[in-house]
Structure 1
Amino acid sequence: MIGITFVDRIGSGLWASVSVLYFTYVSGLSVAQVGTLVAVAGAVGIAGAPLGGRIADRFPITRVLIALQLLRALASFALLTTDHYALLLTYAAIGSLGDRAASVLTKLYATRVAGPDRVRYQALNRTASNAGWALGGLAAAAALTLGTTSAYRWLLAGDAVSFVAVALLTLTCAEPPSPSRIAATAQDTPHSTPANPWRDRTYLAYVTTETVLSLDDTVFKLGLPLWIAHSHGVPHGLAPLLLVLNNVMVVALQVPLARLGTTTAAARNLLLPLSAAFALGGITMALSATGGTLRATCLLTASAILFTLAEMLHATVSWELSVALAPGTAQGAYLGVHGLAQSTQRSIGPLAVTAAIATGPLGWTVFGATIAVTCAIQHRLVRDRLQPTPLSVPPVTVSEH
């Protein structure tokens, strides 16, 4: 599955970096239309996480993943067939729904196949994901030097083909045992009610805090580039360099850092240094506005390092706690609800970051402090709920394709 993630993210890297340009220059959409399309697709995608998790508790996860990858492929190929706005919006929304559902199911697969080693498995998976994104992005940048509409179309086609390849590779993966399906088969009382994450107030509160902790994603996609663009004397070329720094750090350090959170207690304890990283990241962003070019560049680089560290620590904490807090018989449903945090963050994140930018240095200080306080809240929230033993199933041997 790690190799599958790599192929998947190469395709996503081809498309994500040029999607807005494609809709603008190939489909001929206005800025408002592109913004609306992206917003609607993102909103529809929010439903993909809980829907995918619920289905995976009832059907073999590899089959569901194959179906979702083919759905994503069809949606991408469909975008090539029309410039009609309503159809483009529909196809983009379908693709977003499949993308968010597939993301949750990939995490669920890792949970079931890796057992107690799920954090290390996810770290390897995330490293492969970042490497794939980088490779796809570089290929897209090279293709765009041609400056033709055909280049855009070939990049979108490459994204679609990657989903077909991923679906075929998933056929080679063994199906891991599902605690929910095993429990359902073993029960003699067919009317028993499975655990419902929507009635679990503690888990819902945990997911709410996760939404705030996931804001680091928007910092790199929107916050740093916009802050640099509006900072006096800071070279605009620093923005892509900091994104490269983020990617390189994740590829190099995600797996080693994951070793710090291989148990539930250790993962929870990481919330404290995570809180410090967020707070310091906000402070260095604020201070970058108070000096000359060299000082600002150094502080922005320090902020990028701190937010990347926070990103990696949060990923490690999230992988462990989201599973440890979920009943083994409803892991899919619970991880689906947990997936709402990332999906929701994609909607509120831009608002939070632009508000911080508009407020100035104080805004970034408040931004970092707010996430830091949320880390402390989550640390307290999960204390009484955590189980003394992991809830994962034993690991099984699978193909790494």
Structure 2
Amino acid sequence: MRLSGLPAGGGRLAAAALVQSLGIGLFMASSMAFFTRQVGLSANQVGAGLAGAGAVALAVSLYGGELADRYGARRVLAELYAARAVCCVVYAFVTSFWQFLAVTLFAVCVDRAAPPVLQALVAGSVPDQRDRTRVLAVVNVVRNVGLGAGAMAAGAALVSDTLLAYQLTLSAIGLAFLGGAALVLRVTEAERPAVRAKPAWALPDRGYLALTGLNFLLMFFDTLLLVAMPVWVLEHTNAPRITVSVLFTLNTALVVVLQIPVSRFADGLRRTSRLMAGAGAVLAVAGLCFAAAGGAGGWVAVGWLGAAVVALSLGEVMANSAGWELSIALAPAEVRGRYLAVFNLGLSAERVLGPIVVTGLLLSAGTAGWIGAAAVFLLAGVTGERVALGTGTREAAEPVEA
């Protein structure tokens, strides 16, 4: 992956994302085996701990943006990465469920606080809008590459299956986060505007909140891929079981290939708003293709599923690019971290609510569920375009008070 075409700060942020995503990939692939085989926890205990920590982190993560506004996104992001490193070291000495729960609660809160702080740092260190969106696209791509590489590297610990091997792996993960923190500290951040005299709990304006909610709906592409697609293929189509693995691989490859080129269309408020509408339309096509696969046989079903994942992947990179740019462009500079934290709260909420909605509503309704999802995507994209343009017009007409 060439990073030389990025501005200096963007290249360092992309490198930091690659390093720390290697650590996350290592952790994701090896942690369950460590907690169940070495610590002695049950799979249900691990799942309950992660779910509980994720629910608490929904509210706590808002404070990451507040801290970024007050102390600078570079400092806060480096401290968040360093905190993750400490969590990895402490994990190596966990011996009970309650110890696991305490460390996990802290680790998940730190993890969920980081994305809006990263966006705020990109906005504050990369002044050109086109470069800014491209940096976030590159970060997303290298993160996916790093996750895959880290997961492969975890094979050594899984094969050895000894306490020492897992402890060494956790130490390597901690070093990866420290490396990310060191790279972040080398980024030059612009001077922060003075924070307005506004209480920390104050919400963004109504237009920004509406855009957050509509983006929340578009982000359901993630749950459709991870939850709905495998269940639909295995239980509602005649496609071979190996199709699930092929479709996941296809999605990963398409996101890596398409994310950076598509990000170039997020150029200015009008084009970026249209990109959001386009994302909704393409995701709607994906929903209709999934619906068609349910009534098809054999290889015809495979064809419809392949078309669905191609459309889903394209909608994913379009929605990502539009969401990154609009969330930054429509946030007042002096409270940007706070606004971005609220916007990213929608993403975190989708991770919690998505599986419940998809399994309880979409899959239980069968083909009609996919058609309903297509309608929701289309409506969210079109409405999002109008809300973004309306909010941007108001921001331009009403300058923010110093």
In structure 2, the residue matched to 1:187 is none
- Cα shift readout 1:319-354 (whole Å, capped 9, x = no counterpart): 111112211221111111111011111111111221
2:27 aligned to 8, 12, 15, which one? Answer: 15
1:203: how far off? 1.6
In structure 2, the residue matched to 1:188 is none
**Structure 1's 177 and 208: CA in aligned 2 closer, same or farther, altered over 3 A?**
same
CA distance in 1, matches of 2:230, 2:168: 27
CA distance in 1, matches of 2:155, 2:381: 37
- Cα shift readout 1:381-400 (whole Å, capped 9, x = no counterpart): 2222114999xxxxxxxxxx
Q: Does the alignment pair 1:73 with 2:85? A: yes
In structure 1, the residue matched to 2:110 is 98
CA distance in 1, matches of 2:30, 2:227: 16
Task: Decide which moves more: 337-346 or 219-228.
Answer: 219-228
2:135 aligned to 118, 121, 126, which one? Answer: 121
CA distance in 2, matches of 1:236, 1:23: 29
TM-score (norm 2): 0.87
How many residues are matched?
382
Task: Decide which moves more: 272-281 or 164-173.
Answer: 164-173
- Cα shift readout 1:139-198 (whole Å, capped 9, x = no counterpart): 2346534555655444433322211221222232223332x3xx35xxxxxx84489751
**Structure 1's 329 and 241: CA in aligned 2 closer, same or farther, altered over 3 A?**
same
CA distance in 2, matches of 1:298, 1:63: 49
Q: Aligned-residue CA RMSD in angstroms?
A: 2.4
Map residues 263-274 of structure 1 onto 2, 5 A cutoff. Answer: 263-274=268-279
Query: Does structure 2 conserve the Cα–Cα contact (< 8 Å) formed by 1:268 and 1:317?
Result: yes
Task: Decide which moves more: 240-249 or 195-204.
Answer: 195-204
In structure 1, the residue matched to 2:54 is 42
**Structure 1's 87 and 119: CA in aligned 2 closer, same or farther, altered over 3 A?**
same
Q: Does the alignment pair 1:177 with 2:191? A: yes
**Structure 1's 113 and 223: CA in aligned 2 closer, same or farther, altered over 3 A?**
same
1:307: how far off? 0.9
- What letter is aligned with 2:312? F
Structure 2: state its 5+ residue gaps: 1-12, 397-402
Query: Does structure 1 conserve the Cα–Cα contact (< 8 Å) formed by 2:119 and 2:328?
Result: no
CA distance in 2, matches of 1:377, 1:18: 42
Structure 1: state its 5+ residue gaps: 185-190, 391-401
Q: Does the alignment pair 1:367 with 2:373? A: yes
Higher relative contact order (CA 8 A, sep 6+): 1
- What letter is aligned with 2:111? D
**Structure 1's 150 and 354: CA in aligned 2 closer, same or farther, altered over 3 A?**
farther
Query: Does structure 2 conserve the Cα–Cα contact (< 8 Å) formed by 1:324 and 1:387?
Result: no
1:25 aligned to 37, 48, 63, which one? Answer: 37
1:237: how far off? 2.6
- What letter is aligned with 2:278? P
- Cα shift readout 1:76-119 (whole Å, capped 9, x = no counterpart): 22222113111111111111111111221111111111222321
Map residues 157-172 of structure 1 onto 2, 5 A cutoff. Answer: 157-172=171-186
**Structure 1's 84 and 147: CA in aligned 2 closer, same or farther, altered over 3 A?**
closer
Map residues 2-401 of structure 1 onto 2, 5 A cutoff. Answer: 2-115=14-127, 116-117=129-130, 118-141=132-155, 143-146=157-160, 151-178=165-192, 180=193, 183=194, 192-193=197-198, 198=203, 200-355=205-360, 356-387=362-393
Query: Does structure 2 conserve the Cα–Cα contact (< 8 Å) formed by 1:212 and 1:374?
Result: yes
Secondary structure of 1:288's match? Answer: helix
- What letter is aligned with 1:337? V
- What letter is aligned with 1:266? R
CA distance in 2, matches of 1:255, 1:326: 23
- What letter is aligned with 1:167? A
1:53: how far off? 0.7
Query: Does structure 2 conserve the Cα–Cα contact (< 8 Å) formed by 1:277 and 1:306?
Result: yes
Query: Does structure 2 conserve the Cα–Cα contact (< 8 Å) formed by 1:275 and 1:371?
Result: yes
**Structure 1's 295 and 40: CA in aligned 2 closer, same or farther, altered over 3 A?**
same
CA distance in 1, matches of 2:229, 2:31: 20
- What letter is aligned with 1:112? G
1:74: how far off? 1.3
Secondary structure of 1:71's match? Answer: helix
TM-score (norm 1): 0.88
1:294: how far off? 1.1
CA distance in 2, matches of 1:358, 1:146: 42
- What letter is aligned with 1:216? F
Query: Does structure 2 conserve the Cα–Cα contact (< 8 Å) formed by 1:195 and 1:330?
Result: no
- What letter is aligned with 1:134? G
Task: Decide which moves more: 349-358 or 15-24.
Answer: 15-24
- Cα shift readout 1:213-248 (whole Å, capped 9, x = no counterpart): 111122222222232332454333322322222221
CA distance in 2, matches of 1:91, 1:369: 41
1:36: how far off? 1.2
